[in-house]
């Protein structure tokens, strides 16, 4: 199960948006565990007993709160500080967490050289569902973790620490660095795989992040920084909720006060906080006026039920779909331009696109996959790897030297080939590619593309003797972008009249 699905289920079942840290910090250890931990002996046996005390403490916290939280968040630094014993403790702690509760590893990973190993260890060996990252090495760092499509990353974009303001508020209050971080992260991955971590003792900063990332999950930090209460109340909870909740009243995870780790009955504190937060969410929803501006952005797109709506928005956000008059290869001028080559630099989006092709190809019968040069070759290669089918491709032109092949790759005469292309506008490149393949003694029955421009192009494919299949139609893209507020009514109508 993906992180997004697991989190949604946990929120629904436990009726909680609370996330609890699992930090074996001796400084906040309850008295009944500290007595054994603080023995003066420095023997190896005592060291083992110290780790045992920490394990008993972490296990007690988990067993007491597993039905009250939506996620657990162990901080990696506390475990690595203890060396090998700490990593063993981490493994035991993770194993004790019920499988239906997502785990967010708070690592703030910031080293590119070790990122691939870190991703493999965290996601494959430890089995966590998400990890926190530093943003300042950019998309190259995130890409190593986004190679796991069912996992997620939390990019740390704002800290409530007072001395951090000199950096993240630079160069000006109007254009601070932390908002630039949010804007850049928007094109790294979709909403299911990339969330943001925000120190929200300052609701104003949280509101600015939410305005730039209206659909992203936000993990709040430091919400207790301004609290003067005893750990069971958040002074500015209403402000935080108003600033951080998305248009649907969700999209926000709040941390549990660390006091929950220090007391004998953590369940009582967590349950009290959960009820307080839930009541505040209901009150916030009732107090908020109806906002017509976000109804088409959120409600209508949910009602449409388009299976690839989220992917369409991702493609738009990373610049694959732009609205400007463009001369096409066919000689036509369109009011939009689609450049799917951009997806190869965004691993999560690329993986999602390949997955949509794969859904169609699994229903077809063929022996090999053929990509049409040059735009669809990366996609065809990804499909060949995912579906474990051999790949070939017809050359655009036959070279006057070398092997002088029309078709690259091995094949046997009489085999059936499925042709993969990116966009059907006139259908010319797909048809010509299929005909080249057939000229070498192969059979082509199906042509699969990502986007169908419509306007009768599928009829031309049929008339040429092939069956066309498309993941998306241009009208579906247009409708989804308009419903989500990505394009104006004028742009929507222009595209509708093509």
* Contacts with 302 (C-beta within 8 Å, 6 or more apart), sequence order: none
Q: What are phi and psi of 73, to 5 degrees?
A: -135, 85
- Known binding residue 421? Answer is yes
- Known binding residue 235? Answer is no
- Known binding residue 429? Answer is yes
Give the span between the Cα atoms of 311 and 121, in whole angstroms. 28
- Known binding residue 212? Answer is no
Looking at the chain, how many residues does it have?
Answer: 498
- Report residue 46 CA to chain centroid gap: 44
- Known binding residue 428? Answer is yes
Angle at 331 between CA 330 and CA 337, to 5 degrees: 75
Active site residues: 108
* Contacts with 8 (C-beta within 8 Å, 6 or more apart), sequence order: none
Give the span between the Cα atoms of 411 and 400, in whole angstroms. 22
- Known binding residue 486? Answer is no
Q: Which of 100, 205, 97, 99 is nearest to 160 (CA)?
A: 205
Q: Which two tokens stand for residue 176?
A: 């601070």
Q: Which of 111, 45, 50 is nearest to 82 (CA)?
A: 50
Give the span between the Cα atoms of 257 and 201, in whole angstroms. 13
Distances (CA, A) of 273 to 29, 169, 241, 270: 21, 32, 14, 5
- Known binding residue 395? Answer is yes
- Known binding residue 490? Answer is no
Binding-site residues for 5-phospho-alpha-D-ribose 1-diphosphate sit at: 395-396, 399, 421-429
Q: Which residues define the annotated binding site?
A: 395-396, 399, 421-429
């Amino acid at each position: 199960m993906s992180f997004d699905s697991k989190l949604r289920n946990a929120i629904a079942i436990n009726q909680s948006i609370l996330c609890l840290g699992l930090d074996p910090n001796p400084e906040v250890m309850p008295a009944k565990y500290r007595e054994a931990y603080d023995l003066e002996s420095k023997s190896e046996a005592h060291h083992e007993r110290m780790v045992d005390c920490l394990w008993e403490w972490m296990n007690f916290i988990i067993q007491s709160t597993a039905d009250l939280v939506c996620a657990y968040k162990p901080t990696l630094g506390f475990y690595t500080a203890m060396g090998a014993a700490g990593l063993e403790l981490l493994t035991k702690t993770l194993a004790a967490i019920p499988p239906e509760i997502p785990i967010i590893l708070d690592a703030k990973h910031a080293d590119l050289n070790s990122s691939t190993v870190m991703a493999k260890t965290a996601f494959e060996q430890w089995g966590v569902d998400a990890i926190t990252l530093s943003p300042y090495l950019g998309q190259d760092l995130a890409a190593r973790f986004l190679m796991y499509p069912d996992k997620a990353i939390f990019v740390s974009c704002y800290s409530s620490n007072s001395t951090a303001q000199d950096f993240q508020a630079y160069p000006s209050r109007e254009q601070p660095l932390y908002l630039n971080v949010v804007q850049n992260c928007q094109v790294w991955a979709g909403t299911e795989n990339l969330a943001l971590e925000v120190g929200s003792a300052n609701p104003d900063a949280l509101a600015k992040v939410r305005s730039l990332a209206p659909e992203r999950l936000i993990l709040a930090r430091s919400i207790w920084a301004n609290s003067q209460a005893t750990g069971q109340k958040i002074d500015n909870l209403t402000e935080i909720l108003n600033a951080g909740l998305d248009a649907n009243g969700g999209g926000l995870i709040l941390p549990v006060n660390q006091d929950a780790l220090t007391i004998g009955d953590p369940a009582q504190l967590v349950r009290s906080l959960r009820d307080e937060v839930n009541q505040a969410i209901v009150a916030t929803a009732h107090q908020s006026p109806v906002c017509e501006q976000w109804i088409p952005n959120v409600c209508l797109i949910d009602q449409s039920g388009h299976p690839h709506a989220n992917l369409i928005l991702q493609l738009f956000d990373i610049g694959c779909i732009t609205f400007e008059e463009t001369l096409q290869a066919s000689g036509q001028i369109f009011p939009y331009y689609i450049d799917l080559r951009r997806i190869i630099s965004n691993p999560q989006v690329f993986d999602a696109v390949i997955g949509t092709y794969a859904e169609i190809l699994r229903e077809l019968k063929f022996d090999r996959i053929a990509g049409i040069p040059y735009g669809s070759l990366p996609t065809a290669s990804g499909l060949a790897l995912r579906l474990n089918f051999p790949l070939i491709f017809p050359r655009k032109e036959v070279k006057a030297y070398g092997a002088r092949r029309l078709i690259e790759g091995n094949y046997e005469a009489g085999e059936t080939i499925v042709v993969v292309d990116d966009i059907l506008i006139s259908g010319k490149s797909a048809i010509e590619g299929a005909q080249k393949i057939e000229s070498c003694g192969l059979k082509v029955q199906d042509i699969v593309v990502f986007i169908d421009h419509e306007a009768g192009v599928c009829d031309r494919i049929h008339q040429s003797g092939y069956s066309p299949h498309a993941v998306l139609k241009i009208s579906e893209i247009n409708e989804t972008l308009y419903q989500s507020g990505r394009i104006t009514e004028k742009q929507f109508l222009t595209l509708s009249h093509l």
